[in-house]
């Protein structure tokens, strides 16, 4: 990109960046949502025909998200996200959460 085009882009971005970002947030994320509830199940398979001591653990989470500006008693805009983890995936997930928590603690 030559200098003239770069200056034109920078000028336009400087004038309209806020509007562009606001539109992108609405289109891609659907606006902000709040985690309102979490349910979870742990399933452990301890045996299987032909195998004697099998232990497969699967954790299932359901995350209930809602819009912060929704009307009282309305479920419009609510979303449920289901996530399923095996043992190693769950361990990695919790390690990442610990890292995020340490970073947030360092900020405040």
Q: pLDDT digit of tens for each residue in the chain (108 aa)? A: 788 888 888 998 899 988 888 887 776 555 678 888 999 998 887 766 666 666 778 999 999 988 877 666 666 668 899 999 998 999 999 999 999 999 999 987
Q: How far apart are alpha carbons 39 and 61 in whole angstroms?
A: 6
Count the Cβ atoms, other than its own, within 10 Å of residue 58. Answer: 15
Chain position carrying tokens 């983890």: 85
Q: Are strands 79-86 and 56-66 parallel, antiparallel or unpaired?
A: antiparallel
**Hey, where are the domains in the chain?**
1-31, 32-107
Beta strands in the chain (DSSP E): 34-45, 56-66, 79-86
**Separation CA 29–CA 78 (nearest Å):** 13
């Amino acid at each position: 990109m030559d200098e003239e085009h770069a200056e034109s882009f920078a000028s336009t971005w400087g004038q309209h960046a806020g509007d562009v970002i606001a539109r992108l947030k609405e289109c891609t994320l659907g606006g902000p949502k709040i985690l309102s509830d979490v349910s979870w199940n742990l399933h452990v398979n301890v045996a299987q025909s032909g195998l004697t001591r099998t232990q497969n653990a699967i954790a299932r989470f359901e995350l209930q998200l809602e819009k912060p500006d929704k009307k009282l008693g309305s479920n419009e805009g609510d979303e449920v996200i289901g996530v399923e983890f095996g043992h190693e995936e769950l361990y990695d997930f919790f390690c990442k959460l610990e890292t995020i928590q340490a970073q947030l603690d360092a900020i405040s």
